[in-house]
Structure 1
Amino acid sequence: MSRLNFAIGLTGGIGSGKSTVADQFAALGASVVDTDQIAHSLTAPGGSAMPAIVAEFGAEFADAGGAMDRARMRQLVFSDAGAKARLEAILHPRIRDAALAAGEAANGSYVIFAVPLLVESGTWRQRVSRIVTVDCPEEVQLARVMARNNLTKEQVLAIMANQASRQQRLEAADDVIDNGGEVAALAPQIARLHELYLAISKRSATNAAQCL
């Protein structure tokens, strides 16, 4: 029986607090598969996507250590939709395959795929049973990312402009976690959803077993 009969898609805009939320779900026993971490491993020195990236974009898009030059690539894809599509064609299939393999191998209570661009990808909706969106006001996103990443307001706004809008993420959500305030406010929201997901996961496993 596949571990992915019941899986959650976790998403949210940059600075929304997805990683904090994912960590709290993991602490409760869920298996979290972070597609951002997968993407970083693919584009790290020796990463399996690097030969294709260098072949497609040129050696100048690898840094001295052999990793993808993120600043250079970010500047390119934000200004060139064609380049963005070419990069996604390299990365997205590799990320998807690695994430699904990790999900099948997971041994937690249920699987959460943390996918920042879940709404934008268009394909993850069919791979997960429910979508939970981590939400906060856009001005909170902006302030958090500027402080965390040492980016200018214009740089952060450019990143946000290349993501789905807050409204689009909310419309796609089955469940919403409000992270516009203090971190302490997350725990009761996550605990409630964890109990819901445990119950649905058990029902899904029972139904799948009866179909065998």
Structure 2
Amino acid sequence: MLRIGLTGGIGAGKSTVARRLVELGATLVDADVVAREVVEPGSEGLAQVVAEFGSEVLDADGALDRPALGSIVFGDPAALTRLNGILHPLIGRRTMELVERAPEDGVLVQDIPLLVEGTMAPLFALVIVVNAAEDERVRRLVGDRGMSESEARARIGAQATDDARRAAADVWLDNSGSPDQARDEVDRLWRDRLLPFEENVRLGRPGSSRPPRLVEPDASWPVQYERLAARIGHAVGDAALRVDHIGSTAIPGLPAKDVLDIQLTVKELSAVDVALPALRGVGFIDRPGVDRDNPKPADPDPEHWRKRFLTSADPARPVNLHVRAEGSPGARYALLFRDWLRADRRARDEYLTVKRRAAERHAGDSDASRYVEEKEPWFDEALPKAEQWAQNEAWRNPTDGLL
């Protein structure tokens, strides 16, 4: 199952996108529907709310009078906390019941209006944010919901900012245009990304294998890393000592393959076995055949260079996840080379020359393995320079003394 988070500001058209995804075959769990369901007449939730706030929160038919309840809690933080203490566990329990009923070989979309505000993005393998220009959202709210313009703008202003939503978005779906344009965009997303992603996760396949091709630096690489790091950290839990952006995309200004390399440092590699189902749940596939770094001359014992290697199953965002144990030379060198290349322009330029030559020689390869192998001699020769830089700068290995 591929779990997708869907969100967007009021008036952006999130419900329209959700309906189309269901038409295409997704299973939908709507947070607003669940929130209403747990306080339906006769429910445990409604009984608890009445016991806490009194019968004045019921209408003449015995259903929840939402305006009456709102008048009690929204001006009283303590009362709102008590209400949330009743509702949130019930909503969470019901949501998980619905999630567990979803087909294992399908795409599950969870429509959560406050996904960004609730910092829930790391729970999902992919987050779709539906957006529209503010003036268009105001026009819809005034025309479709009968709000005044000032009320519409106030409601928009009370929600997460566009910047916050962009930071959480793996997919930014602009719904400012016509319904047909939005439908076509959703259809392309379903066909080209969501269905292949789900199949890759289910079958344990990496999402992308591309010939080595260098692209210009992308200013969004660090933001993409932050999103992925949050997912990885949440999936691994306390076993994750730290998560770092490594490799060429972590070096500002350096052309690179459009593949994010991430290092997860754990106390012991066996911790990954426990976390594999959760990592698969956020889109990462174990690659057991790639379990060692190339030993460096200073330490030829291959056992010192053991690691676990995972890749993303997302066809649109290649990611390599290198899992290394605390104190291992591989974990240290990944961070040393990154920091040295960030600091030393001459070394960075020299490395870029090597990268470009290797990319040209292996441009026709179906994957990047020979491209990577061709760069290894440069790393071996550059290691003493990196170590000298570390000594001169009093560089400290960030993975030292984590516990």
Partner residue in 2 for 1:203: 200
Q: 1:78 to 1:152 in 2, by over 3 A?
A: farther
Amino acid at match of 2:111: A
User: Higher relative contact order by CA 8 Å / sep ≥ 6: 1 or 2?
Assistant: 1
**Residue of 104, 112, 117 corresponding to 1:115:** 112
Structure 1's consecutive aligned runs of 4 or more residues displaced over 4 angstroms after TM superposition are 75-78, 208-211
* 1:121-169: CA deviation from partner (whole Å, max 9, x where unpaired): 22x3232111100101223223322333333344444443442223212
Amino acid at match of 1:128: F
**Residue of 132, 147, 151 corresponding to 2:147:** 151
Partner residue in 2 for 1:90: 86
Deviates more, 1:165-174 or 1:201-210: 201-210
Amino acid at match of 1:109: G
Q: 1:155 to 1:34 in 2, by over 3 A?
A: same
* 1:68-110: CA deviation from partner (whole Å, max 9, x where unpaired): 2222334445434443333322222222221222122123731
**Residue of 81, 88, 100 corresponding to 2:96:** 100
Consecutive unaligned residues of structure 1, counting only runs of 5 or more, are none
RMSD (Å) for aligned C-alpha atoms: 2.4
Amino acid at match of 2:80: K
- What is the DSSP-based 3-state SS (H/G/I as helix, E as strand, rest coil) of the residue aligned with 2:159? coil
- What is the DSSP-based 3-state SS (H/G/I as helix, E as strand, rest coil) of the residue aligned with 1:131? strand
Please say which structure displays the higher CA radius of gyration: 2
- For 2:79 and 2:91, the matched residues in 1 are separated by 18
Q: Please state if 1:182 is matched with 2:178.
A: yes
- For 2:93 and 2:79, the matched residues in 1 are separated by 22
Identity over aligned residues, as a percent? 33
Consecutive unaligned residues of structure 2, counting only runs of 5 or more, are 205-276, 287-403
Q: Please state if 1:166 is matched with 2:162.
A: yes
- For 1:93 and 1:194, the matched residues in 2 are separated by 32
**How many residue pairs align between the two structures?**
206
Deviates more, 1:130-139 or 1:93-102: 93-102
Amino acid at match of 2:37: S
Partner residue in 2 for 1:7: 3
- What is the DSSP-based 3-state SS (H/G/I as helix, E as strand, rest coil) of the residue aligned with 1:11? strand
| Contact 1:131/1:174, CA 8 A, preserved across alignment | yes
Deviates more, 1:172-181 or 1:94-103: 94-103
